[in-house]
Amino acid sequence: MIFSAFFKAYNGASFCFPLFFERPLPILKQVDGTGVCIIPDREQKRDMTRVLIIHPPVAKPGEPPAGAARIRGFLEENHVSCRVLDAGLEGIRFLLQKQPEIQDTRTANAWRNRDRSLNALKSGSAFSTVDHYNRIVGSLNRLLFLHGRKYGYSLDLANCTHDFLSPLSSRDLRRCAEKPENDPFHDYYRDSLISSVRNYRPDMIGISVNFLSQAFSAFSLTGLLKREFPGCRIVAGGGLITSWMQKPDWNNPFSGLVDHCVRGSGEVFFNEILKLNVPGRRVSMPVYNDFYRQHYLSPGFVLPYNTSSGCYWNRCSFCPEPAEGSRYHPLPRERAVREIRQLCRVNRPVLIHFLDNALAPAFLKTLISNAPGVPWYGYVRFTSHFLDPDFCRKLKASGCAMLKIGLESGDQRVLDHLNKGIDLKMVSKSLFNLHQAGIPLYIYLLFGTPHESEESAGMTMRFVADHHECINYINPAVFNMPAAGHEARLYHTRYFSGGDLSLYVDFHHPLGWDRIRVRHFLDRVLFRHPDIAGIRRMTPKTFTSSHAPFFHLDIPQSVM
């Protein structure tokens, strides 16, 4: 999906939670019926290897990181000790218990009510109305913003930017590593994280960087870890690192700071570096034991799970997925159902978040016939299946709490050029059927694509307005062209900045519909349309689609 792939890299003292650091038991084996001995072979050596995966700030602290949980599952399945530390969650909670400089009533109220605000998000009481929710999230963001300003950062629950430094510049990221004390999370690293790492004594530390919002703190932390643990190997991986490494001009700018940069699957890397000799492409069930379920800022545990990697459609023009060579790899449906049931038994989630770029229709049918017993939501494509009202009703009955769908444009000509494979008549009927079935919809729009004109943008606005009763939320975005895509060669392009890590480029729009005009249209026309303004007012701040389903769920009393 164009938007979901585009968005993946562009979003980004008293609550210090130590990891559970139990040592694995040695492998015992009976010898000739006379006793037992410790096996000093390859499997025992695996047990002696300790891997720590760190999920750095800043990423939405509403659910645990799924990728790190899968890597832990893979390593433990192969007798390698592994722990995962969600520094994104812990760091945010650390700062929210540290009093900022209070200079106005607004800040004083936010500080005084901080615990009440956190509890409202965890209990579900924040979700009574979107206005009440936005006030609570805004007050927490206010405290984080003030903590960040001391260091030149603009910081909130989901984003982190800097006044002068760029996360797209390797020079600036190395500067963060050289002076980690200038990071707003440095006190958390110093007072809590470092001691946790020292207690665990890892041989290898993986830093999982998936969003630009994590880049500054990830490299500040890397510099600090390199200083404190010079003998420990540092591995950088995750979606953002993978995207950087797939740039044609990639020439590792982090040599000497990071021992290994990982492109793609972390399981493949660890299989090779630890000589595990696991054959084929191995995907293990995620393990969420390290995550403190009661402390995430959601009303209960949200279980992230992906049934596939890549996109089953994988044909959209200008999409980073084909540009980066990503292939579609689905799990067998029977295995996915089995794992979901097991994970639900162990973790008792209140919501399942399917992370697939697009859930395949075949898996939607599987969910209908094998309902997980827990509400769920995820990203789908408009397909002919939604033309069947009965299918939509059964999908709702399976626990569907919300669907995220990429419409992109209300101009059929633009959709055809984007190779979306959807027809607006089908979209119109699908919206109606899903709405009638009671399924909330989060619709993604994309403005400024090469074949869109101002007239086309107006058609998109009118299409959304005509269907506003069926649409609960919208996410309008301005198109960025993937630098690695073959389509970029068809246009006159330039990088947005001088950063050597830029993934997207600006381009000379063939119809004159440039970014300035697009943004003017969004601010002055689209957002002022009364029907569309009404939809936008219902969008949750900061957490957006991650928290939107909770406005449509009955929060369990055990959580309340």
Q: Note the pLDDT of residue 400.
A: 98
Q: Note the pLDDT of residue 3.
A: 43
Q: Note the pLDDT of residue 13.
A: 32
Which single residue is written with the structure tokens 């585009």? 6
Q: Note the pLDDT of residue 18.
A: 34
Q: Note the pLDDT of residue 9.
A: 40
Domain 301-549: state its class: alpha beta
Q: How far apart are CA 353 and CA 364, in angstroms?
A: 14
Q: How far apart are CA 405 and CA 428, in angstroms?
A: 13
Which single residue is written with the structure tokens 């389509």? 487
Q: Note the pLDDT of residue 279.
A: 86
Angle at Cα 504 formed by Cα 503 and Cα 508, nearest 5°?
155
Q: Where are the beta strands (DSSP E) in 315-468?
A: 329-330, 351-354, 376-380, 400-408, 441-447
Q: Note the pLDDT of residue 499.
A: 87
Angle at Cα 205 formed by Cα 203 and Cα 210, nearest 5°?
160
List, in order, residues 6 or more apart from 391 with CB less than 8 Å away: 368, 385
Structure tokens at 430: 């699908």
Q: Where are the beta strands (DSSP E) in 409-503?
A: 441-447, 473-478, 481-482, 493-495
97: Cα separation from own chain's centroid: 25
SS3 for 208?
Answer: strand
Q: Note the pLDDT of residue 323.
A: 61
Residue pair 46/78 in contact by the 8 Å Cβ criterion: yes
User: What residue segments make up the domains of the chain, in order of their start?
Assistant: 2-27+46-89+169-273, 93-101+108-162, 301-549
Which single residue is written with the structure tokens 């299989």? 271
65: Cα separation from own chain's centroid: 8
Q: Note the pLDDT of residue 293.
A: 66
Residue pair 360/383 in contact by the 8 Å Cβ criterion: no
What CATH number was assigned to the domain covering residues 2-27+46-89+169-273?
3.40.50.280
535: alpha, beta or left? (left if phi > 0; alpha if psi -120 to 50): alpha
Tens of pLDDT along the chain (560 residues) come to: 444 444 344 333 333 333 333 333 333 333 333 333 333 344 444 557 899 999 999 999 999 999 999 999 999 999 999 999 999 999 999 999 999 999 899 999 999 999 999 999 999 999 999 999 999 999 999 999 999 999 999 999 999 999 999 999 999 999 999 999 999 999 999 999 999 999 999 999 999 999 999 999 999 999 999 999 999 999 999 999 999 998 888 999 999 999 999 999 899 999 999 999 898 777 899 999 888 666 899 999 999 999 999 899 988 888 877 666 678 899 999 999 999 999 999 999 999 999 999 999 999 999 999 999 999 999 999 999 999 999 999 999 999 999 999 999 999 999 999 999 999 999 999 999 999 999 999 999 999 999 999 999 999 999 999 999 999 999 999 999 888 777 878 888 888 777 899 999 899 999 999 999 999 999 999 999 999 999 999 999 999 999 999 999 987 654 44
